A and B are shown apart, each in its own frame.
Chain A
């Protein structure tokens, strides 16, 4: 099977290369001789089919690797190092992306899969898709080269073949780890598609903004994947790593956040181009940057350039990524300089107080956040170069520099939707912001009355601001829905609820987007809870107890257990809240046989108000009694709820708008005016 896998990868490489070279030749010929015969179009068609073929070939390769994992084929070095016989089957499947070679194969396969969809749907715009497909083929060639030369997933074991594998890193033996990496990769890889379309549109001097319309769903789906990937990673870190937090500003986390920030900026500013023909150069560079940042992130973490918690094998792969990044930058720059006259704006910003300028500021802040993170990630290298010694840029740096930027961003989340396109007069600003501002101020006053003291420390100040802004954003969005529904209600005579449904269905992108904003506000409220975290650590023998916040924990027993995959030690704790029995918790520590590694299994009791998070730290070697660490993390559940709202909002935005006919059917029967047009702008 390994030989078949290697062959399939090689075939995939040849096919992408064919798509790239022949596709480019055909496009060149068509561009030079527009009236030429059918030959170049035949070539272009075969290039497209080769692209589709590369997906089939890489699918075969991915299948071969999974097959090797399931059949315990330890002659393949990758399987030997990332699997073992006793491993449960979902994790065998996950072995496909638990190591470098496998995850690069996954990357190449996902890229081919995106390419497959793009090439199959080429009738949307045959010429533009041909350009995008050729550019995508170039990216595919790079990633397929990686799995042919520096990181072959089907490399064979030299010498005698061991009877069992070394096992999967136990940290990765967790359900979310089965879906987190593919989600994240789907996000990273997905930006290649809008990138290819943007570069293609620029190369062919595509008239109009239709390409944005074509890539709109791609970008949103990609963004959704990246968002889910990042938050699943956070949840995994929280639930598995057992340090009581979810975000450590580690370079790998930063690497995923950077393209998310520029991608978010792109999603917003691209609307200005679609609707108003503005910011064309800016958008092109935003998507170029997003694509390059997703490559740079991989480069930073896999080349050993910056140190990280995520223990990726350091390898020569960094050089490949450097080369690729330089080539991409060169191609982008060259194309831009050559074709930039095609990117003239059709409109200018008419007012400082408008949806456009709020988008501009949102872009600015998102970019500043991205720059801050990039700067923080790279500063140790800069400092080493200048001063000769490395410094650490850790959480305290980001908390001080990035948190204020985040709070400002939250403010914009509420302001943006309320402002009108083109220009908003002060009169309407005052009218539309009245309730949100009242809600924000009232929240702040109530919280201070309830005992929050923002002047005592900066953390409390930030969280008070966040709660207050969260109320502002929520009110702003609710009033937006309310106003819109009122208009529909007046027009159709329906009740408020069906007006609300119709409002949303008429313009899913806008109202889905508002829902995403609502989700962001909820996430921020959850993040702000971290200012009030508490923790305590104690040796807890039989019947020992510990009090933290409103909880009292009493040890019932502690014991050991064993199975084929791991040994475990755990402690049973009875938890009392305000004197009443609440539940029993069992924090655990496991020792995995195959990988000879230890891992903690956190016990977490999560409520809307707070999480009670209990970690089995290990046994005191002197007394042999377990050491228990307890965290009280307020509002963490809000983060996961907020993400769910964000995801639902994005899904809503992906639903096509209600058609004009449907809208017409739902109008007031006695009304004689013209039908309600669907798809009222964005």
Chain B
């Protein structure tokens, strides 16, 4: 009984592991474009957050304007690089 149970467990797991796969998930290296899109999302979130906190009264006007300008510039750089890459690199 024990031997049957052990054998069943062993064989079941071995079949699961080595059963030939038609398609395996590819380990792709993250592209610059993907990275930039992540960056864009982060900066966007930070900007929304800044807008929200300004409305909630956490920043005086001048701080808010300076910080928004800095972040918008950062976002603009990322966006223009994204546009550049999207135009020049064919979609995979």
**Interface, chain A (partner B; CB < 8 A):** 1, 3-4, 7-8, 11, 15, 18, 30, 34, 38, 41-42, 44-46, 49-50, 52-53, 56-57, 60, 122-123, 125-127, 130, 206-210, 274-276, 420-425, 427-428, 431-432, 483-484, 486-487, 490, 677, 679-682
Contacts and interface: CB of A to CB of B under 8 A. Distances in A.
A484 B53 CA distance: 8
Contacts of B45: 275, 679-682
A125 B63 CA distance: 38
Nearest to B39: A208
Given A210-B38, A425-B59, A679-B45, A49 B52 contact: no
A198 B46 CA distance: 23
A344 B56 CA distance: 33
In order of increasing CB-CB distance, the 3 nearest A-B pairs are A681-B49, A420-B58, A53-B13
Nearest to B63: A425
30 contacts: A3-B6, A4-B2, A4-B5, A8-B9, A15-B13, A41-B27, A42-B21, A44-B27, A46-B17, A46-B18, A49-B16, A52-B16, A56-B9, A122-B25, A123-B25, A127-B29, A209-B38, A422-B67, A423-B67, A424-B58, A424-B59, A428-B59, A431-B57, A483-B56, A490-B55, A680-B45, A680-B51, A681-B48, A681-B50, A682-B49
B27 A30 contact: yes
B73 interface: no
B88 to A, nearest CB: 20
Contacts, number: 123
Contacts of A431: 57
B26 A41 contact: yes
A604 B35 CA distance: 57
A428 B9 contact: no
Contact of B13 (A11, A210, A427): A11
B7 to A, nearest CB: 10
A52 B14 CA distance: 11
Interface of B: 2, 5-6, 9-10, 12-13, 16-18, 21, 24-30, 35, 38-39, 42, 44-46, 48-53, 55-60, 63, 67
A53 B17 contact: yes
A34 B57 contact: no
A126 B28 contact: yes
A422 B51 CA distance: 13
Contact of B6 (A7, A208, A425, A428): A7
A679 B6 CA distance: 50
Given A57-B9, A209-B38, A487-B52, A421 B46 contact: yes
B25 A45 contact: yes
Given A60-B9, A206-B30, A275-B45, A681 B24 contact: no
Nearest to B38: A208
A144 to B, nearest CB: 15
B9 A42 contact: no
B63 A423 contact: yes
Most buried by B among A45, A60, A274, A681: A681
A15 B26 CA distance: 22
Given A208-B30, A275-B42, A425 B25 contact: no
Given A127-B28, A127-B29, A209-B42, A680 B60 contact: no
Contacts of A420: 53, 58-59
B27 to A, nearest CB: 4
A487 B2 CA distance: 67
A425 B13 CA distance: 62
A209 B24 CA distance: 26
Given A45-B21, A422-B67, A677 B28 contact: no
Given A45-B24, A50-B17, A126-B25, A679 B48 contact: yes
Q: Which of B13, B30, B35 has the most CB of A within 10 A?
A: B13
Given A677-B48, A682-B49, A432 B38 contact: no
Given A42-B21, A50-B17, A425-B59, A34 B49 contact: no
Given A49-B17, A425-B63, A681 B29 contact: no
A554 to B, nearest CB: 58
Contacts of A490: 55
Nearest to B51: A680
Nearest to B7: A7
A21 B45 CA distance: 41
A38 B24 contact: yes
A53 B16 CA distance: 8
Contacts of B21: 42, 45
Contacts of B13: 11, 15, 53, 56-57
Contact of A487 (B26, B50, B56): B56
Contacts of B30: 125, 127, 206-208
Given A4-B6, A60-B9, A421 B57 contact: no
A432 B17 contact: no
Contacts of B16: 49, 52-53
Interface centre among A206, A276, A424, A490 (most CB of B within 10 A): A424
Contacts of A432: 57-58
A319 to B, nearest CB: 31
Q: Which of B10, B26, B45 has the most CB of A within 10 A?
A: B45
Q: Could you say which of B26, B39, B42 has the most chain A C-beta atoms within 10 Å of its C-beta?
A: B42
Contacts of A45: 21, 24-25
Contacts of B46: 275-276, 421, 681
Contacts of A125: 30
Contacts of A275: 42, 45-46
> Which of B30, B39, B51, B58: most chain A CB closer than 10 A?
B58
A421 B42 contact: no
Contact of B55 (A34, A487, A682): A487
